[in-house]
Chain A
Amino acid sequence: MIKSCELCGIEKPAIKRPKTGQGICKPCFFSAIENEVHETIISSNLFHPGEKIAIGASGGKDSTVLIHLLDLLNKRHNYGIELHLLSIDEGIVGYRDDSLVTVKRNQEVYQLPLTIVSYSELFGWTMDQIVKKIGLNNNCTYCGVFRRQALDRGARMIGAEKIATGHNADDIAETVLMNLLRGDHFRLGKSTDIVTGEEGDMPRCKPLKYLYEKEIVLYAHYQNLDYFSTECVYSPNAYRGYAREFLKDLERIRPRAILDIIHSGEMLSVSAPAPAKMTCERCGNVSSNKICKACTLLETLSKP
Chain B
Amino acid sequence: MSVHIAFSGGLEDLFNKQRNLTVPLESQLTLKQLVFHLKDRYLQTRPELFMSGDSLRPGIIVLVNDMDWELCGKDDYVVQDRDAISFISTLHGG
Contact = CB atoms under 8 A, between A and B. Distances in A.
A60 B10 contact: no
Interface in B68-84: 68, 70-73
A16 B94 contact: no
Interface stretch (A115-123, A211-219, A260-268): A211-219
B58 A166 contact: no
Interface string B1-29: 00000001110010000000000000000
Counting chain B residues whose Cβ lies within 8 A of the other chain, the interface size class is 20 to 34
Counting chain A residues whose Cβ lies within 8 A of the other chain, the interface size class is 35 or more
B61 interface: yes
Contact of A63 (B8, B57, B94): B94
A184 to B, nearest CB: 22
Contact of A1 (B9, B61, B71, B89): B71
Nearest to B72: A1
Contacts of A217: 9, 61, 88, 90
A218 B9 CA distance: 11
A2 B94 contact: no
Given A60-B92, A214-B90, A231-B93, A2 B58 contact: no
B94 A171 contact: yes
Contacts of A58: 93-94
A16 B68 contact: yes
Nearest to A168: B94
B67 interface: yes
Given A60-B94, A166-B94, A230-B92, A16 B70 contact: yes
Contacts of A244: 91
A248 B94 contact: no
Interface string A213-247: 11011100110000001111000000000001100
A251 B58 contact: yes
Contacts of A61: 9, 90, 92, 94
A14 B67 contact: yes
A23 B70 CA distance: 9
B47 interface: no
Contacts of B86: 221
B92 to A, nearest CB: 4
Given A60-B92, A60-B94, A63-B94, A229 B71 contact: no
A214 B72 CA distance: 17
B59 A229 contact: no
A12 interface: yes
B82 to A, nearest CB: 18
Contact of B89 (A168, A229, A251): A229
Contact of B58 (A14, A60, A231, A245): A245
A62 B94 contact: yes
A74 B61 CA distance: 30
Interface of B: 8-10, 13, 52, 57-59, 61, 63, 66-68, 70-73, 86, 88-94
8 contacts: A15-B71, A16-B68, A16-B71, A60-B92, A229-B8, A229-B92, A231-B10, A231-B93
Q: Closest 3 A-B residue pairs measured CB to CB?
A: A62-B94, A248-B58, A16-B70
